[in-house]
Chain A
Amino acid sequence: MSAAKFSNPVVRWIDHRLPVFSMLDHTANEYPTPKNLNYMWNFGSLAGLSLVIMIVTGIVLAMSYTAHVDYAFESVERIMRDVNHGWLIRYIHMNTASFFFIVVYLHIFRGLYYGSYKAPRELLWILGVVIFLLMMATAFMGYVLPWGQMSFWGATVITNLFSAIPLVGESIVTFLWGGFSVDNPTLNRFFSLHYLMPFLIAGVVVLHIVALHRFGSNNPIGIDTKGKQDTISFHPYYTIKDIVGIALFLLLLAVAVFFFPNAMGHPDNYIPANPMQTPAHIVPEWYFLPFYAILRAVPDKLGGVLLMFGAIAILFILPWLDRSPVRSARFRPVFRIFFWLLFIDAIALGYLGGKPAEGIYVTLSRVATAWYFLHFLVILPMLSVFENTKPLPKSISEPVLATTVAAE
Chain B
Amino acid sequence: MAKSTSNSKSSSSNGMQEPARRDFIVVATYAMGAVGAGAVAWPLIDQMNPAADTLALASTEVDVSKIAMGQAITVTWRGKPVFIRHRTPDEIARANAIDGAELRDPQEDEARVQRPELLVVVGVCTHLGCVPLGQKTGDVKGDYDGWFCPCHGSHYDTSGRIRRGPAPTNLEVPPYSFLSDNVIRIG
A and B touch in the complex (CB under 8 A): yes
Knowing A30-B11, A240-B26, the reply to whether A81 touches B52 (Cβ < 8 A) is yes
Tell me if A379 counts as interface (CB < 8 A to partner B). Answer: no
Tell me if A88 counts as interface (CB < 8 A to partner B). Answer: yes
In the complex, are the beta carbons of A82 and B47 less than 8 A apart?
A: no
Tell me if B53 counts as interface (CB < 8 A to partner A). Answer: yes
Chain A nearest Cβ from B58, distance in angstroms: 13
Q: Which of A56, A82, A83, A243 contacts B33 (CB 8 A)?
A: A243
Stretch from A95-103, A230-238, A290-298 forming part of the interface with B: A230-238
In the complex, are the beta carbons of B47 and A85 less than 8 A apart?
A: yes
Main secondary structure of the interface of A (DSSP, over half): helix
B29 CB contacts on chain A under 8 angstroms: 240, 243
Chain B nearest Cβ from A175, distance in angstroms: 36
In the complex, are the beta carbons of A60 and B52 less than 8 A apart?
A: no
In the complex, are the beta carbons of B46 and A82 less than 8 A apart?
A: no
Residue interface bits B1-41, CB-to-A below 8 A is 1, else 0: 00011011111110001000100001001000100100000
B43 CB contacts on chain A under 8 angstroms: 84-85, 88-89
Chain A nearest Cβ from B17, distance in angstroms: 7
In the complex, are the beta carbons of A82 and B13 less than 8 A apart?
A: no
In the complex, are the beta carbons of B47 and A56 less than 8 A apart?
A: no
Q: Which of B5, B10, B49 contacts A84 (CB 8 A)?
A: B49
Tell me if B111 counts as interface (CB < 8 A to partner A). Answer: no
Counting contact residues on chain B (CB < 8 A from A), the size range is 20 to 34
B109-127 at interface with A (beta carbon < 8 Å)? none
In the complex, are the beta carbons of A78 and B53 less than 8 A apart?
A: yes
Tell me if A281 counts as interface (CB < 8 A to partner B). Answer: no
In the complex, are the beta carbons of A29 and B11 less than 8 A apart?
A: yes
In the complex, are the beta carbons of A86 and B51 less than 8 A apart?
A: yes
Total number of residue pairs linking A and B with CB closer than 8 Å: 61
Quick one: which of A7, A78, A82, A250 has the most chain B CB within 10 A? A82
State the CA gap A29–B49 with chains docked (Å): 39
A23-79 at interface with B (beta carbon < 8 Å)? 29-30, 56-57, 60, 63-64, 78
Knowing A229-B13, A236-B5, the reply to whether A60 touches B47 (Cβ < 8 A) is yes
Counting contact residues on chain A (CB < 8 A from B), the size range is 20 to 34
B10 CB contacts on chain A under 8 angstroms: 233
State the CA gap A64–B43 with chains docked (Å): 14
Tell me if A390 counts as interface (CB < 8 A to partner B). Answer: no
In the complex, are the beta carbons of A60 and B44 less than 8 A apart?
A: yes
* Minimum CB distance partner of A7 in chain B: B7
State the CA gap A379–B92 with chains docked (Å): 96
In the complex, are the beta carbons of B47 and A89 less than 8 A apart?
A: yes
Tell me if A5 counts as interface (CB < 8 A to partner B). Answer: yes
A243 CB contacts on chain B under 8 angstroms: 29, 33
A interface vs B, CB < 8 Å?
A: 5, 7-8, 29-30, 56-57, 60, 63-64, 78, 81-86, 88-89, 228-229, 232-233, 235-237, 240, 243, 250
B interface vs A, CB < 8 Å?
A: 4-5, 7-13, 17, 21, 26, 29, 33, 36, 43-44, 46-49, 51-54
* A-B pairs with lowest CB-CB distance, top 8: A85-B43, A30-B11, A82-B52, A82-B51, A82-B53, A83-B51, A84-B46, A233-B12
